[in-house]
Amino acid sequence: MNEYDSIYKENAAPVQATVTVAEKPPVVFTRSERITAIVMLLAGFLWVRLCLYHESGLFTSLLYIAIITAQAVFFRKNGVVFTKSEKLTLGVMYAFSLVYTLTANDLLKGLNTIFLMMLGCLFLFHTANPDGDILRFLPVSSAYSMIAAPIHKCNAAALAVTSGAKKSGFWKNTGYILLGLLLAVPVTVIAGALLYSADDNMASLIDRLGKLPSDEILVLIPHLLFGFLLGSMMFSAVYSAHQKALHIVPEECNNIARNCRIVPNPMVYAMVTPLCILYLLFFFSQLQYFLGGFTGDVTGFTYAEYARRGFFELCGVCCLNLIVIGGMGFFAKLTGTEKPLALKLFASFLCISSLLLSGTAIAKMFLYIRVYGMTQLRVYTTWFMFLLVVLFALLLVKQFKATLNIGKIGAVTFTVLFALLCFSRPDAWMTRYNAERYLSGQLEEFDSEVLYEMSDDAWSALTAYDSETLDRLLNADTRRTFALYTTPSEQPDFWDVLNLSAWELMAYET
């Protein structure tokens, strides 16, 4: 290298690397997405009004049907072909939308709202993962569909609406309209003042308009804000499903499950063995007591004491067993397809013990109902125990058939049992059951006070009886209360008469 090359290299300007940052392309919303965003925002506001503020009924059913239809139409317009399971899910959601009209039971309507929300989220998530077995990985699917999807694109609704407004010149036209309304204020005030002086009817109308309830307007503001947020989350779930933004990856789910297997199997056996021994001692020492639910021999107890003393304790033991079985299958090092025989036997013993205890609890409650009649608590807890029986039976089969899809079978079973609970209008048939048994002499008394703890469904069941029979069933105070239910009010609350029970009560003729 000569001196000229050295001088050249020393004085040469350093080479600077240029980094080009690619601009993120703007999100473009289609016409169907913009329309769906507007529909979801409106549906969010209406949901707040019809489900939270007013008594839910016919219009709530229509709202759910409209939301389900809007989502189905959106996906069909975008080329989605629903699978058989998705079509069945749509039918189930349509059917459960009618619960708000068929019953006046607030508890069932609240549970139905939760059920429809969960089922709707899973439906949307399945459209994005048609080949993914989302029920097999139900905990992950639930987290994705009910938490991640609604907040993943929570601003998409606002972006979709504003993008459509920009294209159509919405803001410009809105400005013109607001300016025109502002200019119309003085002219309208002058005309109103003249009409106010000229006509008494117009004066009365203007006075009424001036007395609009300010509290209703104040309530409307949070409803709009919460409804807008809810509608944004609803559209986020739809938009995320349409864009297939969230996916179930079976291998990742399996890896998560494998990472949770941290407890050595001998430790699991040691932890469960004392519990199994305790159940054996407990069951054999109390054999006659617990089998009294099947035989009817409850010596030493009244029927009420016998049922109450054992029922809820057995429920608690079954729930504890469910937690233990789930923990064994989830945290043991060797489980799943690698599950050893010892772990299967321990889990099977707990399942069989739980089935025996659940069956005993159900038998005890049937004995109680046969003697004292039905109440909401007795029926609901019995329904829950039936659900536990099915779940423990599935877990027992799962121990020896690892490929059994408990999530799918459990979801179908729960849907069927929940449908029986909702569509049977339990308050109505409980009242009919108690009344018929009392009239036939199988119950010592018809507990009229229970009616006050139930919904209008219970009172509507009494419309099946004539006046003479009602006098036999009800005491004087309850008879007067029923008369108030069936007497048309001059100004009945509009939102309280939008269900089947209210229509039956209004149509009753003494």
**For residue 20, pLDDT beyond 50:** no
Answer yes or no: are the C-beta atoms of 358 and 317 closer than 8 Å: no
Return the structure tokens found at 497.
């008469």
**For residue 387, pLDDT beyond 60:** yes
Mean pLDDT in residue range 56-72:
94
**Which stretch of 82-86, 259-263, 276-280, 447-451 has the lowest confidence by average pLDDT?**
259-263
Angle between helices 58-77 and 31-47 (to 10 degrees): 160
**For residue 4, pLDDT beyond 50:** no
Q: Of 508, 438, 427, which is closest to residue 475 (Cα–Cα)? A: 438
16 band by pLDDT with thresholds 50, 70 and 90: very low
End-to-end Cα distance, the chain:
119
State which amino acid sits at residue 264.
P
CA distance 15 to 6: 17
CA distance 232 to 237: 9
Mean pLDDT in residue range 379-402:
89
176 band by pLDDT with thresholds 50, 70 and 90: low
67 band by pLDDT with thresholds 50, 70 and 90: very high
Cα 275-276-280 angle, rounded to 5 deg: 115
Return the structure tokens found at 122.
């899973």
pLDDT at 418: 95
The most confident of 31-40, 110-119, 247-256, by mean pLDDT: 110-119
Percentage with pLDDT > 70 across the chain = 80
What 3-state class would DSSP assign to 332? strand
pLDDT at 130: 80
Return the structure tokens found at 453.
């703890």
Return the structure tokens found at 134.
């989302």
C-alpha dist (Å) from residue 203 to 71, 188, 448: 47, 15, 53
In sequence order, which residues have a C-beta less than 8 Å from that of residue 275 and are 6 or more positions away?
A: 324, 350
- pLDDT, tens digit, 9 for 90 and up, residues 188-224: 777 777 776 776 666 776 666 655 555 666 777 888 8
Q: What is the CA radius of gyration of the chain?
A: 32
Answer yes or no: are the C-beta atoms of 240 and 146 closer than 8 Å: no
Answer yes or no: are the C-beta atoms of 373 and 437 closer than 8 Å: yes
DSSP β-bridge partners for residue 332: 263
110 band by pLDDT with thresholds 50, 70 and 90: very high
Q: What is the DSSP letter of 299?
A: T
pLDDT at 93: 96
Residue bearing the bigger pLDDT, 104 or 247: 104
pLDDT at 178: 66
Answer yes or no: are the C-beta atoms of 482 and 470 closer than 8 Å: yes
CA distance 326 to 335: 11
Q: What is the pTM of this model?
A: 0.80
Answer yes or no: are the C-beta atoms of 462 and 473 closer than 8 Å: yes
**For residue 19, pLDDT beyond 50:** no
Angle between helices 84-97 and 58-77 (to 10 degrees): 160
pLDDT at 286: 62
CA distance 482 to 462: 8
In sequence order, which residues have a C-beta less than 8 Å from that of residue 472 and are 6 or more positions away?
A: 439
C-alpha dist (Å) from residue 337 to 324, 470, 480: 19, 62, 65
- 374 HSE (CA, 13 A, CB side): 20
Please give the sequence-ordered ranges of beta strands (E in DSSP) within 126-188, or none if there are none. none
Q: Where are the alpha helices (DSSP H) in 199-213?
A: 200-209
C-alpha dist (Å) from residue 493 to 101, 187, 498: 16, 39, 10
pLDDT at 287: 61
Residue bearing the bigger pLDDT, 34 or 140: 34
161 band by pLDDT with thresholds 50, 70 and 90: confident
**Which stretch of 53-57, 157-161, 230-234, 498-502 has the lowest confidence by average pLDDT?**
157-161
443 band by pLDDT with thresholds 50, 70 and 90: confident
- pLDDT, tens digit, 9 for 90 and up, residues 359-385: 878 887 888 888 888 888 889 988 988
**Which stretch of 64-68, 99-103, 342-346, 412-416 has the lowest confidence by average pLDDT?**
342-346
Buried b / exposed e along 173-191 (16+ C-beta atoms within 10 A):
eeeeeeeeeeeeeeeeeee
Give the chain's mean pLDDT. Answer: 81
**For residue 42, pLDDT beyond 90:** yes
**For residue 325, pLDDT beyond 70:** yes
* Element housing 433 (H / E): helix 426-439
Return the structure tokens found at 331.
């945290």
CA distance 118 to 93: 10
Mean pLDDT in residue range 105-118:
94
- pLDDT, tens digit, 9 for 90 and up, residues 232-284: 999 999 998 888 877 777 777 777 777 778 888 889 889 889 888 888 887 77
8 band by pLDDT with thresholds 50, 70 and 90: very low
